[in-house]
């Protein structure tokens, strides 16, 4: 390697820093460059691809992120396979904010005879008051994110490192 080339490890470290600072496009560029110069079946190759999947998801390239994680589920490295399955589960989970009108309706359990067995007692409101005032729908304040936050990523990386360390100890 000539002195003007950067090693895959250095590119990977730079990409992680870019990702952690929210520079996802720069992280993708560095990860894709690192991916070209590393054995993809190695542990480092797998880690680069896991981070690349996260970066793809962060910029809305969800199908590419999912495809990459699906491929990594058969990676030779056990830790990479586990990380890929974990990340895939996170990025393919349905969004909780897809409620109609952003409101959650809570059913009135007092009108269900099946609940009488569980000791359900209605509030001390007259029947007339109950009929005049339908229950207010619960408003949820939600914020949709389409990528893994830094604290979630730190947890994922921490778990991956711990699992790798445990694997080496065994």
Sketch out the chain's domains with CATH numbers: 8-93+146-169 (1.25.40), 107-137 (no CATH)
Quick check: 40 and 71 in contact, CB under 8 A?
no
Alpha-carbon 56 to chain mean position: 12
Backbone torsions φ then ψ of 40, nearest 5 degrees: -65, -20
**pLDDT in 10s for each residue of the chain, 170 residues:** 444 588 999 999 999 999 999 999 999 999 999 999 999 999 999 999 999 999 999 999 999 999 999 999 999 999 999 999 999 998 887 665 655 555 556 666 666 555 554 444 444 545 555 556 666 666 656 555 566 667 777 788 888 888 888 887 77
Q: Residue 104's beta-bridge partner residues?
A: 138
Classify 152 as helix, strand or coil: helix
Quick check: 97 and 144 in contact, CB under 8 A?
yes
């Amino acid at each position: 390697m000539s002195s003007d080339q950067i090693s895959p490890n250095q590119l990977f470290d730079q990409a992680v820093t870019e990702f952690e600072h929210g520079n996802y496009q720069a992280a993708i560029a560095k990860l894709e460059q690192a991916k070209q110069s590393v054995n993809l079946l190695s542990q480092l190759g797998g880690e680069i691809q896991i981070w690349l999947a996260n970066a793809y998801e962060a910029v809305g390239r969800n199908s590419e992120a999912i495809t990459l994680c699906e491929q990594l589920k058969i990676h030779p490295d056990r830790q990479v396979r586990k990380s890929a399955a974990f990340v895939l589960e996170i990025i393919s989970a349905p969004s909780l904010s897809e409620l109609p009108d952003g409101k959650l309706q809570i059913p009135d359990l007092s009108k269900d005879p099946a609940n009488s067995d569980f000791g359900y007692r209605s509030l001390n409101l007259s029947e007339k008051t109950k009929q005049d005032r339908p229950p207010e729908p619960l408003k949820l304040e939600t914020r949709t994110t389409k990528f893994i936050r830094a604290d979630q990523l730190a947890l994922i990386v921490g778990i991956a490192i711990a699992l790798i360390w445990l694997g080496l100890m065994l």
